[in-house]
Amino acid sequence: MNPAQYFIAINPVGLTGAAATRYVRDVREHLTWIHRTVSGRILLNCIRRPSFPIEIRPHPTAECNAVGGAEQKAAGAAWTGVVTYTPFAFSAHGSCALLPAGQTFGRLWDEILFHELVHVFRNATGRWNTAPALSFGMRQYDDNEEFIAVLCSNIYVSDRSNRIKSGLRAGHADFSAMAPADAARFGLFMSSKAAFGLVKQFCSDNPIFTKALSDKLADVEYNPIADYYRYPKLCETLSVIGDLKDRARMIDALVAMRIPRAVAAQLIMGIP
Ligand SMILES: [Zn+2]
């Protein structure tokens, strides 16, 4: 895979000599892994545009994080794509290795890079929008854009052409595993009220990308986008169950704050 074909430049900012060479080699390899998969090629082909080149460079600190988005190299310059990603942070002795046991879902090198490239894609297509509200049962996704990036990365994890993978990630707040009920078919739509509307908006924002993920990966273990395109009415109806689950979780949260369950239920459900 030649990153330049996709207008991607790997820039080892701040590194010299062997470290710089290793950085370029490692990032190129992780891009190659993404490119070998069906979902990875869909993403790369949808990002690819000469007017929006992407720079991948080391993350500025050693924290367990990476960032994807858009930037202006100078005031007034055109917006371009950027990913700050340091493979070492996600390695066996990197900063992410200090996380508690079980915090490993969606954390492999290429899974991290795929997630950040989804953020770049949303910027490249002018669709980046963190404003839509999440419902209570989706708060682990932090915001709409993280929800979209985690959703797509989980489809990448489910993609059978992706041979080495961790597992489905529960949200954006950490790297824990998705609960079996949420991972089940239609589970996303039943997990929280806003999920249906947010998936619908994403599909309307980026129809070429989402239809490709739906058509080429219709039969994988986890693909709520394919379920949305095939059964939109069912997904919408199931969001009623999502609303009830949101309320049940709100009651649990109040009970955890030592509010009696009967009082909590009355507050949330309006039950006398
Ligand atoms: Zn993110």
**96-146 pLDDT, tens per residue?**
888 988 899 999 999 999 999 999 999 999 999 999 999 999 999 999 999
Residue 224 CB partners (closer than 8 Å, separation 6+): 151, 186, 188, 189, 195, 199, 235
As a whole number of angstroms, the distance between CA 249 and CA 193 comes to 12
Centre of ligand 1 to C-alpha 4, Å, is 24
Centre of ligand 1 to C-alpha 213, Å, is 19
Centre of ligand 1 to C-alpha 236, Å, is 26
Report the DSSP beta bridge partners of residue 80.
71
As a whole number of angstroms, the distance between CA 87 and CA 93 comes to 11
CA-based R_g, the chain, Å: 20
Beta carbons of 173 and 111 less than 8 angstroms apart: no
pLDDT, position 271? 64
As a whole number of angstroms, the distance between CA 257 and CA 251 comes to 10
Mean pLDDT, range 36-48, rounded to an integer: 97
ipTM over 0.85: yes
- Residue 58's pLDDT band, with cuts at 50, 70 and 90, is very high
Centre of ligand 1 to C-alpha 149, Å, is 6
Mean pLDDT, range 194-216, rounded to an integer: 98
pLDDT, position 83? 98
Centre of ligand 1 to C-alpha 64, Å, is 12
pLDDT, position 93? 85
Indicate the average pLDDT of the chain: 95
Of residues 162, 169, 174, the one with CA closest to residue 216: 162
Centre of ligand 1 to C-alpha 145, Å, is 7
Residue 164 CB partners (closer than 8 Å, separation 6+): 33, 108
The residue type found at 52 is F
Report the run of H or E that residue 28 belongs to, with start and end. helix 17-35
Reading the block at residue 139, the tokens are 């708060």
Mean pLDDT, range 177-186, rounded to an integer: 96
pLDDT, position 92? 83
Report the DSSP beta bridge partners of residue 81.
54, 70
Instruction: Give me the percent of the chain exceeding a pLDDT of 90.
Output: 92
Mean pLDDT, range 89-93, rounded to an integer: 87
Centre of ligand 1 to C-alpha 113, Å, is 10
At 69 the three-state DSSP class reads strand
Phi-psi region of 148 (alpha: psi -120 to 50; beta: other; left: phi over 0): alpha
Mean pLDDT, range 1-11, rounded to an integer: 96
Centre of ligand 1 to C-alpha 143, Å, is 9
pLDDT, position 272? 60
Centre of ligand 1 to C-alpha 259, Å, is 34
Centre of ligand 1 to C-alpha 47, Å, is 16
